[in-house]
Amino acid sequence: MMTIGCIRINNMTFYTYNGVFPEEQKLGQKLEIDAELGYPIEQRVQHDELSETVSYADVYETIKNFVHDHHYRLIESLANHLLTKLLNDYPRLTAVTLRIRKYGVPMAGVYDNVEIEVHGGQNHD
Instruction: Report, as residue numbers or ranges, the catalytic residues.
Output: 102
The radius of gyration of the chain from alpha carbons, rounded to an integer in Å, stands at 16
Provide the CA 71 distance to its chain's centre, in angstroms: 15
Q: Is the Cβ–Cβ distance between 25 and 17 less than 8 Å?
A: yes
First to last CA, the chain: 22
How many other C-beta atoms can be found within 10 angstroms of the C-beta atom of residue 67?
Answer: 19
